A and B are shown apart, each in its own frame.
Chain A
Amino acid sequence: MRGYFSTGRAATCAMLAGAIIAGAPAWSPAARAATPAAPVDTVDQLRYPPLPDVRIPEPTRVVLDNGLTILFLEDHELPIVSVSARIRTGSRLEPADKVGLAELTGAVMRSGGTAAMTGDQLDDYLEGRAARIETSIGVASGTAAMSCLREDFADVLTVFGDVLRHPRFDADKLAIAKNRAIADIARQNDNPGRVADREFAKLIYGKESPYARVPSYDTINGIVRRDLADWHAAYVHPRRVILGLVGDFDTEQALQLVTRVFGNWPRGPTVDDPDVPYPTATTRGVYIVPKHDMTQAKIVIGHMGLTRRHPDYYALVILNQILSGSFGSRLFSNIRSQQGLAYDVHGGIGFGWDVPPPTHFSMSTKLDTVRAGLDSLLEEVRKVMDAAPPTEEEVDNAKTSLLNSFVFSVDAPGKVLEQLLTHAYFGYPSDWLAVFRAGIERTTAQQVRKAARAQLKPEQFVTLVVGPRDGVAPAMARDDTVTEIDIAIPDPSSP
């Protein structure tokens, strides 16, 4: 299916895409407007009844004696129960010669079975009940999740406990996971977007950085079952796990159930996590990745971003909304609708929970307009800093949009719970959703303009272009020095 938008928009609005409401409606029905006899002519003539205040539902929080934290949120609409966990681990903790270990551990924790069931038995058990358990480990955290019908809750939770506590790490399943990791490496240059994201991260963080490096055939081949078991033993303990339950259960009974499954989980050793240096920007300059099977080029420009703890956070969320967060944003209107240069054009300050992702601006455009595309992206950055800073009207529109759509971040209990788990994991306050809304409300246009000038640094931009060398090179002629990046995949070392 062809969409009007590519998926990038969702990413820029990720902060708003989630949140909740308790089982019983937390508001009274909105006052209904009287039915008009005739349609209005213009949108200005419409008058809206007030939207009732949205109460953000608060889960019941329990900490077991062994340190396991659990959040419970009842939702009785459908006979379904979901459990989600955050695990304090992440691939950034990997040693450099074992890149890929965290991801393999995350995959095989589930696929490799438990002490009580082989992986195949576990698959049969869950799929026969239309239930799911999945685990994974990303850069900064691990997750485990289950979903099942109400009548299977107790049984599936028991299995979920085994997956977290007693994974078997079956060697056959490790072989399958490694097979997939190897194929994934072989295919890592097939998709232009993936090439651009990976190489841009290497330029921003440095190619050896835990935030940019990727597995090689050699690091995958060097990982053995023992490594996975050791990783699990080091990081998966009750004090490093936050559980969230949402769905059709009674909290008292669910607590008894969780206590039965997790209450005797030993506290485990106190582990000092390896030191991961906070990322700092290193590179500038202009880079080309030659990729000859493209009829357009992918352009990315930018520099290191920020975390949500930055004092300019709210002002810059509004700035992002003005630049690219909404349908009528500047990048979308000026570069896509008016110039027709790109289908996908996005950009803004990057915000992470505990470390900064890149601030970046990107688009894909035909080879004839690579220079025009680069110039347009840079011009939009410079304009918003100086020649055409955000107007009062733009800031008002962005704030109104963010505040009016806030209800969608809390319109389902499951959404709220996922956000609360993330906030708790990264040490943000439990009322962060409300804090965020208040932060947007109080921010002024003057603060947005000042933050734009302070936090956008075009003189520090890295420029990356992925595309056919002969097609792209002429567009780069004005730049002093262009560095070509070789993305050929090194063969595995001989055994």
Chain B
Amino acid sequence: MAGAADAPATGVALDSFESRVTEHTLSNGWTFLLVTRPVAPVFAFMTAVNVGSAQEGAGMTGLAHMFEHMAFKGTPRIGTTDYDAEQRALEELERAYLAYQNARLRTAPDADVVRQRHDAFRRKQRAAAAFVRSNAFGNIVDRAGGVGLNAFTSADMTGYVYALPANKIELFCYLESERFLHPVFREFYKERDVVMEERRLRTESRPIGRLFEQFTAAAFTAHPYHHPVIGHASDIQSYTMTDAGKFFHTWYVPSNMVTAIVGDIHPETIIPLLETYFGRIPRGPAPPTLRTVEPPSIAEKTVTLKDPSQPFYMEGYHKPAVTHPDQEVFEAIDDILTNGRTSRFHRALVRDQQIAVSAGSYGAYPGEKYPHVWVAYAVPARGVSNQRVRDALHDELRRLTTDDVTENELAKFRRRARAALLRSLKSNMGLAMNLSHYHTLFGDWRELFHSLDRVDRVTAEDIRRVARHTFTASNRVTAQIDTVEPPRPAPATTAPVSP
């Protein structure tokens, strides 16, 4: 269609990539997507686990992310000096922690009992720590020449990544099967402290972090998208090794996992290795499904954060899940409103009115597997109020509901969608992430390429229809930072500030 006619070489390149993907599912249900890309003797992978913070309930928020951290702590054979003794120490530690937690969470805690049990817990913690070889798992990857060892958790899924030289394919099979065959939750209660510091860093000590958490909580009344991916502070400080174990056994079953491997690999040699290593993992029961559906929004919600930082304005509109047939219409809206210097937001707010220094959007907040919100934001220029950028954003959204977008805007959208996909193929890791992500969301990696067909079919009428339905006051949630003066620091002084 139009895009292919614009850029024949692009179309050929995309078609050839699609034909280079081999899909292989083990009998236990774990799916592998393999792409041979012998540009260099290296490969990259991503394992996507179909569990995110949306699968957490009350008291357990942040547990998906906490488990992600624990997946770096090793196994009975990696990270310990004596696993049998360590296992006993960990069991004693957990009993001591549960006793302490029971005392601490009573409605009327006895301070002496809490302190005694806390001391006992700390003793058991030190005893278990004596068996730990810290970060042995990561050390193996590092020594092998691995790069980009990392993982991430979103509202929708959990991902594990790194890249290795091509001769280390069996090491990959060993480590990545071992890690999910029998993870050991060593250093769990220290890692909880690490996650609390992560929360303080990202959410509590940054104005935008504070605002986004409030925005998200206001946006969803029923669906678990309303709680933060990192978790509430009280939950981070309360979930237990036992909780993490239950979470693991519920969600980390092979049928809930897909791994994409891209690089100098060959399906005929790697598939037997995958069978040997990943085939060890038992099938396990299918994970539960999520019942709660966010009801239609009947009231505009507004969040105002009085904060000692500069103004910021954002608003979200509820929209359907990524699998909805209108998804590409939203992507067209996104492209036309916010992609680049020719976008409508940029030209109106930044170029012509000069009331904002940037304006953009997030198409999938806080996730996209379930109905979520489309977020627009603007960073006001110095001295400009949130109200002015809000009005200007609303003018642009209103225009989408009344006037057709131009054919030029649609053509640009189609061409850029193709080029963006093409550019993403230049990287082993980029492609591995895209394939595993799409396969998790749609159940079929081919959607990564097929979505372009739907991109080609988006019309100006579609955009008006979707805009009219979406950009209404009752479907909206807004959040803004209103600046309050910070306490003025005393003039610089060399006097000691110690008490």
Q: Which residues of A are interface residues toward B (Cβ below 8 A)?
A: 1-6, 13, 16-17, 21, 25, 27, 29-30, 32-33, 35-43, 46, 48-52, 54, 77-80, 111, 120, 123-124, 127-130, 147, 149-151, 172, 175-176, 179-180, 182-187, 189-192, 288, 290, 292-296, 326-328, 332-334, 336-344, 364-366, 397, 400-401, 403-408, 410-412, 414, 469, 473-474, 476-477, 479-488
Contact = CB atoms under 8 A, between A and B. Distances in A.
Given A290-B489, A404-B165, A366 B135 contact: no
A388 to B, nearest CB: 15
Given A176-B354, A410-B40, A130 B415 contact: yes
A240 B312 CA distance: 41
5 contacts: A40-B170, A130-B416, A149-B10, A183-B379, A343-B198
Contact of A3 (B150, B273, B277, B381): B150
Contacts of A129: 415
A183 B354 CA distance: 11
Nearest to A397: B143
Contact of A175 (B135, B354, B486): B354
Nearest to A78: B13
Nearest to A186: B382
Contacts of A49: 167
Contacts of B357: 179-180, 183-184
A162 to B, nearest CB: 17
Interface in B199-248: 200-202, 204-207, 229-230
A2 B170 CA distance: 29
B171 A43 contact: yes
A4 B379 contact: no
Given A3-B151, A343-B194, A397-B142, A192 B206 contact: yes
Interface in B161-215: 163, 165-168, 170-171, 173-175, 177, 187, 189-198, 200-202, 204-207
B69 interface: yes
B419 A149 contact: yes
B201 A296 contact: yes
B155 to A, nearest CB: 9
A1 B153 contact: yes
B360 to A, nearest CB: 14
B85 interface: no
Interface centre among A149, A176, A337 (most CB of B within 10 A): A337
Contact of B135 (A328, A343, A364): A328
Given A4-B72, A78-B13, A54 B41 contact: yes
Contact of B145 (A294, A338, A403): A403
Nearest to A182: B382
B194 A340 contact: yes
B401 interface: no
Interface stretch (B101-109, B326-334, B420-428): B420-428
Contact of A400 (B143, B341, B416, B499): B143
Contact of B229 (A1, A288, A327, A339): A1
B419 A124 contact: no
Given A30-B264, A78-B13, A405-B145, A296 B415 contact: no
B497 interface: yes
Contact of A404 (B145, B230, B411): B145
A331 B486 CA distance: 34
A54 B134 CA distance: 33
Interface size class of B (residues with CB under 8 A): 35 or more
B174 A123 contact: no
A338 B206 contact: no
Contacts of B187: 337-338
Contacts of B493: 483-484
A485 to B, nearest CB: 6
Contacts of B145: 400-401, 403-408
A124 B347 CA distance: 12
A130 B174 contact: no
Contact of B40 (A36, A172, A407): A407
Contacts of A111: 341
Contact of B39 (A50, A179, A412): A412
Contacts of A179: 354, 357, 381-382
Interface stretch (B292-300, B303-311, B449-457, B467-475): B303-311
A6 B201 contact: yes
B309 A190 contact: yes
Nearest to A37: B276
Nearest to A181: B357
A342 B10 CA distance: 46
B37 to A, nearest CB: 8
Contacts of A32: 266, 269
A2 to B, nearest CB: 5
A342 B142 CA distance: 21
Contacts of B207: 190, 293
A476 B499 CA distance: 10
Contacts of A40: 170, 174
A182 B340 contact: no
A344 B201 contact: yes
Contacts of A52: 41
Given A27-B41, A80-B426, A43 B194 contact: no
Contact of A4 (B68, B494, B496): B68
A339 to B, nearest CB: 7
Given A51-B41, A405-B145, A338 B415 contact: no
Contacts of A13: 147
Nearest to A132: B340
B78 interface: yes
B288 interface: no
A294 B426 contact: no
Contact of A50 (B12, B167, B195): B167
A67 B163 CA distance: 40
B289 interface: no
Nearest to A52: B41
A338 B167 contact: no
Nearest first, the 6 closest Cβ-Cβ pairs linking A and B are A404-B145, A327-B138, A340-B193, A130-B419, A79-B9, A411-B40
A35 B271 CA distance: 10
Given A3-B150, A364-B205, 20 more contacts: A1-B152, A2-B65, A2-B154, A5-B150, A50-B167, A78-B426, A123-B341, A127-B340, A151-B9, A326-B142, A328-B135, A336-B194, A338-B129, A397-B139, A404-B165, A407-B41, A407-B42, A412-B426, A485-B492, A487-B489
B323 interface: no
A247 B12 CA distance: 17
A127 B342 contact: yes
Given A296-B205, A474-B499, A484 B489 contact: yes
Nearest to A335: B194
B350 interface: yes
Contacts of A191: 206
Given A2-B230, A39-B177, A407-B145, A78 B422 contact: yes
Contacts of B138: 326-328
A176 B350 contact: yes
A294 B138 CA distance: 31
Contacts of A473: 497-499
B286 interface: no
B301 interface: no
A7 to B, nearest CB: 10
Contact of B196 (A5, A120, A366): A366
A6 B72 CA distance: 15
Nearest to A337: B134
Nearest to B181: A39
Nearest to A473: B497
B487 interface: yes
Contacts of A120: 351
Nearest to A325: B142
B458 interface: no
B280 interface: yes
B1 to A, nearest CB: 16
B7 interface: yes
Contact of A176 (B69, B150, B351): B351
Contacts of A414: 426
